[in-house]
Amino acid sequence: MPSPPEASRIPDHRVTIEKRSDGAIVVRVRSEGPDESRLPDAVFSFRNGDPQYAYWLSRLATSSPTKS
């Protein structure tokens, strides 16, 4: 059975991560492409207990101060 594909990391220059006062983590992934055909940014929120919460919390901890 083949191995599952390796997950790719969203490049730091395209992602903004912040932690709100209620503990939720908000992740914004900036869209790329020509202005006239660019999609809106993707915005996700994660709360403690969500499967990806720990991952984004660790990315927040290792991101530059301007992204937290």
Q: What is the pLDDT of residues 38-55, one digit of tens each?
A: 899 999 999 999 999 999
Is residue 52 within 8 Å of residue 46, measured between CB atoms?
Answer: yes
Find the domain containing 27 and state its range.
Answer: 12-67
Do 58 and 12 form a contact (C-beta atoms < 8 A)?
no
Residue 40 belongs to a domain: yes
> Does residue 65 surpass a pLDDT of 50?
yes
CA 28 vs CA 10, 25, 43, 62: distances in Å: 11, 10, 4, 16
In a domain, 7, yes or no: no
Which single residue is written with the structure tokens 């984004």? Answer: 56
* Residue 4 counted as domain residue: no
How many domains would you assign to the chain?
Answer: 1
Q: Is residue 43 part of a domain?
A: yes
Question: 2-51 pLDDT, tens per residue?
Answer: 666 667 888 889 999 999 999 999 999 999 888 888 899 999 999 999 99
- CA 48, CA 53: separation in Å to the nearest integer? 6
> Does residue 5 sit within a domain?
no
Query: What is the length of the chain?
Result: 68
